[in-house]
Structure 1
Amino acid sequence: MTTPRTGPATPTLDLLARPSGGFAMVAMDQRESLRQMFAAATGERAGDDTLTAFKLAVAREVGPHASGFLIDQDYGFDRVAAEGLIPGGLIIAVDSLQQSSDGPVEDTSIDERVDLAAARRAGAVAAKLLLIWRDDEHRRRRLDIAAAFVRRCAEAGLLSVLEGVAKPTATAGPGSGETAGPAAFDGPAAIREAAAELAGLRPSLYKAQVPLGGAAPEERLVDECAKLDEVIPVPWVVLSQGVDRDDFPAAVRAACRAGASGMLAGRAIWSDLVGSGSSGLAAALRARAVPRLRRLAEIVDEYARPWSAR
C-alpha cells in the first residue's frame, strides 16, 4: 500500500505566543493603506522605498518586543527575514489586495507570487490571509479561497492566520460602488457570522474585528466579544483597524476577558509616527510605540485565554 504524501509538520502556536500563552503581535503588512497614511501625514505620495524603510524601522525597534510580526513580501519580508530582526514568530502576508490608491481594500485573493515553502525556509512560521466578508453572491468563492489558504499552509508546514473583515453588501448594480447604509448593516452580527463561517475552516488562528469599533463601554464590549467567542472554535485575536488608538487597550482587555487570546495590531501601535521623518523615527518608535506594545502585552498576559486552552 502506498503511503500518502504529507507536507512538513505544522509548528504550534507557541511560536507566536508569549510565555503566558497569549499573543501580542505587530502587523506591518499594510500596503496602499500605509501609502494613504503617509499622504495624510505629509501631503505627498510616498514611494516604495519610503514604505519599506518605515516597515524595517518598525521591525528593528518594535519587533523585538512582539511575540509575532506580520509583514508583506513586497515591502520588507525578505530583509526582515535575512537580517533576523524578529526574535518572535515571523508571519508573511499572502493576500493580494484589490484596493484603489485612495480607497479601502474591497476584495482579496491569494497572492500566487508568494512561495510558502520558500517563506518557511527563510524563517516564517505562519502566513496570513485577509478576507473581505460580505453576504453576497461571492460568498462561496471567498469561502473556497479561505479553505485553500488553510490547506496550503498546512501542506507547507506553516501556521495559518485567517483574518475576516465584514463589510456591507453592495446594494446597487455591479461596479456602482454603493453599499448599504449604516442603519442597514448590523456590524456585530456580521462580524459573528463571518467568524463562524471562516473560523469554522479551522485555521490555526483567527483574527477578528473588535465589535462596535471598540467605541462602547467595556462591559458592553465584553458582552459582544463573548457572543463572538461562542462561534469561534479556534484561538482568536483582535485587530486594531477601525478602533481609535486610545480605545484599543480597553478593547483588547474586553476581548481577552471574553475569551480572546490577544491581539495582532498595527495602527494602534505606530500609526501616529507615520511621516515623522527618518532621522528621528527610531527614537520615536522606542519612546512611543514600544511602551504601547508593552502595555498591550501586559493586558494580554493578565486577561487573555492561553491559546492551548481553546
Structure 2
Amino acid sequence: MKYVSAEKLRKLEKLSTDNQVISALAIDQRGSLRKMISAEGNTEDIQSAVEKFKIAISEELTSYSSSILLDPEYGLPAAKRKNENAGLLLAYEETGYDATEPGRLPDLLPYWSAKRIEEIGADAVKFLLYYDADESNEINDQKKAFVERIGSECDAEEIPYFLEILTYDKDIDDNKSKEFAKVKPRKVIKAIEEFSKDRYGVDVLKVEVPVNMNFVEGFSKGESVYTKEEASQYFADQDAATHLPYIYLSAGVSAQMFQDTLVFAKESGAKFNGVLCGRATWKDSVPIFAKEGENAAREWLKTEGVANIESLNKVLDATASSWSNRIGSK
C-alpha cells in the first residue's frame, strides 16, 4: 500500500471512474502520429494537422473516458476541448530517443516542469522510460536518477506521477519478434520490481502486459512461445511484483486483442487498475482523417471510436480492480 497526500489522491480520483478505475484515452503520440498522418496524405502543415486530429479525439471521445493523456507540444488545444468531467494527464518527456546513441536515454521537454504542468490544470505527470534491466549500470543508473528527479518534482507539486515503462533488449532490434517474446516476461517484471521502490516516488505504473499475446497458445496464429499456463503465470508474477496501482497500455494492438488480453489477465489473477488505451481505440481514423478530412474522421470517431471505448469500458467493468486497495491518503 502506498500513501500519498490528500491533494494527490484528489487528482487521482479526477482521473478515474467512480469505482476508482482508470479508463484513460492516450493521444500523446507525436513523432509516430506525424508519420501516420503524413504516410496517408500530402499534409502541408503537419503541426496543424496533428493538433486538429487531437482536438477531434478529445471532443468526440472524452465523454466516454475517465481521463485523457496529451502532450504539451501538440495537445494543449485538445486539452481545452475535453469533456469537463475527464481528467488530464500531460506527457513530460521528449518524444522518441536518439537511435545513434546507446541506451535509449530519456530527455525532458525543455520548457516544461512538473510545476508548469500542474499550473495549467493537469491532474498528473506522465513520463515514458525505455528500460532494459540487462543494460550496463552506467546507462541504467542514469535512468534511475532521472526517474527519481521527476518523483521529487511531483511530490513537491502534489501531482500524481505516472511512469510508463517500455522494455527492450539492447541486442534484439525487433521487439515484436519471437526472439524478444522469449525474454519479454523477465524484462517487464524486473522493470516493475525496480521502479516500484519508494525512492522513485512513482504513484501509478503504466506497463506492458508481460507477454506478447501473439505468441500465446490459443491466441497465436502461428508458432507459440508460451503455453496458456505459462502466460497466465507471468501475469500473476507481474501482479505480485508491485504494491503500486498499475494500468495496462495497449501497445498498438487491435481493440479486440486488447480486450481479450484484459480478460486473460483477470482470469490469471492480475488485479490491474485500468488502462491507458491509445491506438487500439482511434488508429483506424488516421487514414480517414488524412485522405477524407476532419469531418469524415469525426464521423468515424462518433461511431466506431465510441463503440471501441464503450466495449472496452464493459470489459474494464468486469476485469479491472479499484486502486483504493493499493493507494490511499496519508
TM-score (norm: length of structure 2): 0.81
Change (3 A) 1:86 1:128: farther
Q: Alpha-carbon deviation of 1:64? A: 1.8
**Secondary structure of residue in 2 paired with 1:164:** strand
TM alignment of 1:1-310, pairs within 5 A: 9-12=7-10, 13-42=12-41, 47-77=46-76, 79-83=77-81, 85-99=83-97, 106-134=104-132, 135-137=134-136, 138-170=139-171, 182-183=178-179, 186-200=183-197, 201-215=200-214, 216=216, 217=218, 220=229, 221-257=231-267, 258-276=270-288, 277-310=293-326
The answer to whether the 8 A contact 1:27-1:71 is kept is: yes
User: Aligned partners of 2:81 and 2:294: how far apart in 1?
Assistant: 20
The answer to whether the 8 A contact 1:81-1:122 is kept is: no
User: Aligned partners of 2:265 and 2:212: how far apart in 1?
Assistant: 12
Deviations 1:149-205 (A, max 9, x none): 12211211211100111001148xxxxx899x8536601110111111123234111
**Secondary structure of residue in 2 paired with 1:246:** helix
The answer to whether the 8 A contact 1:92-1:124 is kept is: yes
Q: Alpha-carbon deviation of 1:247? A: 0.5
Q: Match for 2:142: what amino acid?
A: R
Work out the number of aligned pairs and report it: 294
The answer to whether the 8 A contact 1:62-1:290 is kept is: yes
User: Aligned partners of 1:178 and 1:270: how far apart in 2?
Assistant: 24
Identity of aligned residues (%): 23
**Secondary structure of residue in 1 paired with 2:70:** strand
Bigger RCO (CA 8 Å, 6+ sep) = 2
Q: Alpha-carbon deviation of 1:118? A: 3.0
**Secondary structure of residue in 1 paired with 2:94:** strand
Change (3 A) 1:100 1:271: farther
Hey, what does 2:225 align to over in structure 1?
Answer: none
**Secondary structure of residue in 2 paired with 1:286:** helix
The answer to whether the 8 A contact 1:73-1:92 is kept is: yes
User: Aligned partners of 1:119 and 1:225: how far apart in 2?
Assistant: 33
**Secondary structure of residue in 2 paired with 1:263:** strand
Q: Match for 1:275: what amino acid?
A: P
**Secondary structure of residue in 2 paired with 1:17:** coil
Hey, what does 2:222 align to over in structure 1?
Answer: none
Unmatched tracts of structure 2, length 5 or more: 220-227
**Secondary structure of residue in 1 paired with 2:271:** coil
Q: Match for 1:255: what amino acid?
A: A
**Secondary structure of residue in 1 paired with 2:23:** strand
Q: Match for 1:162: what amino acid?
A: L
TM-score (norm: length of structure 1): 0.85
Q: Alpha-carbon deviation of 1:108? A: 2.2
**Secondary structure of residue in 2 paired with 1:211:** coil
